[in-house]
Amino acid sequence: MNKMLILMNILLTLPKRVNRQNQEYRFGFGGISERMIHPFVFYVLATLIVGFALLVVTVRNIFHSGLCLIGTFLGVAGIYVSLHNYFLAATQLLIYSGAIAVLILFGIMMTQRSWSLTSRTHNSLWLIGIPVSAMMAFLMIRSALTLPDSPIKTVWENLLQAIGSVLMQVYVLPFEIISVVLLVALIGAMALGKESEEA
């Protein structure tokens, strides 16, 4: 009975406790310094990203398109560095341009045939695709221009520590669900990729 009361007390006070700890982030982890990216670096990175992305969707040889995808991922990692999130940049390098790109390149190599270099790589949807994409870009850029432009200059000194605390306190349920999703994806990929006996 006493234990149950203690348990209920813990459960009932948990949200309050989390809230109190959240307010400590403002002062709890290191100081805040100011640093800004040079415009030239940003424009070089943006040109790299958009150029490689255009190559990804237009190049006829799908293997070259997979290599251009790695270029886009590297550029996005640079963008994360310019946004002062170095851990995310390292994760992008390891998982995207490391694991996912290698996975996609292996998939391309296992499914490529000699005729796949000469056959058409795009369907006839480009007639709809170009106007729809252009209109989408117009709408998104126009709504982005209505945002108040706040500068990116505050750097959290211990951002990784703060992110870890947030993951483990506020977002601990999604964090655990992600691990289950990864396990299910692993088993599903093995079940799908296995050679079936009757085939």
Binding status of residue 44 toward other proteins by CB under 8 A: no
Is residue 155 at the binding interface for other proteins, with CB under 8 A as the rule?
no
* Cβ neighbours, 10 Å, residue 83: 13
Please state the closest distance from residue 13 (CB atom) to other proteins, in A. Answer: 19
CB atoms within 10 A of CB 181: 11
Q: Identify which of 57, 33, 43, 54 has the alpha carbon closest to the alpha carbon of residue 122.
A: 57
Here's the x/- map for other proteins, 111-140, by CB under 8 A: it reads as x----x---xxxx-xx-xxx-xxx-xx--x
Exactly one of 11, 12, 147, 173 binds other proteins (CB under 8 A); that residue is: 147
- Tokens matching residue 82: 């310019």
Site for other proteins in 159-188 (CB under 8 A): 159, 162-163, 166-167, 170-171, 174-175, 178, 181-182, 184-186, 188
Residues in region 12-31 near other proteins by CB under 8 A: 22-23, 25-26
CA dihedral 18, 22, 27, 28 (to 10 degrees): 50
Would you state the torsion angle of the CA atoms of residues 67, 72, 74, 79, taken in this order, to the nearest 10 degrees? 180
What is the chain's alpha carbon radius of gyration, rounded to the nearest angstrom? 24
Residues numbered 63-122 forming contacts with other proteins, rule: CB under 8 A: 65-66, 69, 72-73, 76, 79-80, 82-83, 85, 88, 91-92, 95-96, 99-100, 103-104, 107-108, 110-111, 116, 120-122
